[in-house]
């Protein structure tokens, strides 16, 4: 019986590894370094990373262009989650939250990366090159990706789910 259980667990792990989740990333020229560090970390974890932003700190692709591309790709279903990087994360966040179905959060701590998923079901995590070091940004990315909506707040799940719907309805 244990071998069967172990065999099923191995088969399930293999299925998950072959069906990679796509994560979108984008940065403006100010945050290419942080984006590259987080993207490499995500690839090591087995995610497929699709980069829609600036790829060189010397080439100009402003935050308002990169964020738009990522949000349109999310709306088309090309991925379920994304990371946006700029100097502070705030410019990317302001653009991202203009798009229906996008719930972006600027995070400045690993705790915030976890809580924006738990409380708000954020699907876009915005980080700033001027704020984060690579290792802490990787930890925040892990917290964002590994946390489920309402996780740890199950007694509030109905309220949080209702709030999510009502907040989305506020958009013009």
Residues assigned a catalytic role: 86
Contact call for residues 98 and 131 (beta carbons, < 8 A): no
Q: Which of 80, 24, 74, 75 is nearest to 53 (CA)?
A: 24
Residue indicated by tokens 């802490």 = 136
How far apart are the C-alpha atoms of 153 and 155, rounded to whole Å? 6
Q: CB–CB of 77/102 below 8 Å? A: no
Contact 40, 15 (CB under 8 A): no
Residues β-bridged to residue 86: 128
**Do residues 160 and 150 touch, judged by C-beta distance below 8 A?**
yes
∠120-54-41 over CA atoms, to 5°? 60
């Amino acid at each position: 019986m244990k071998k069967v259980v172990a065999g099923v667990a191995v088969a399930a792990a293999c299925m998950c590894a072959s069906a990679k989740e796509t994560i979108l990333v984008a940065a403006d020229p100010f945050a290419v370094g942080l984006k590259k560090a987080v993207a490499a970390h995500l690839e090591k974890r087995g995610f497929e990373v699709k980069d829609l932003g600036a790829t060189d700190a010397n080439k100009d692709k402003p935050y308002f262009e990169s964020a738009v591309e990522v949000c349109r790709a999310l709306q088309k279903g090309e991925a379920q989650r994304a990371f946006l990087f700029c100097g502070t994360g705030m410019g990317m966040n302001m653009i991202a939250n203009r798009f229906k179905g996008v719930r972006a959060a600027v995070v400045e701590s690993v705790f915030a990366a976890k809580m924006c998923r738990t409380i708000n079901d954020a699907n876009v995590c915005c980080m700033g090159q001027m704020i984060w070091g690579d290792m802490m940004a990787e930890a925040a990315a892990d917290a964002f990706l590994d946390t489920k909506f309402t996780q740890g707040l199950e007694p509030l799940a109905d309220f949080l789910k209702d709030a999510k719907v009502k907040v989305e309805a506020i958009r013009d």
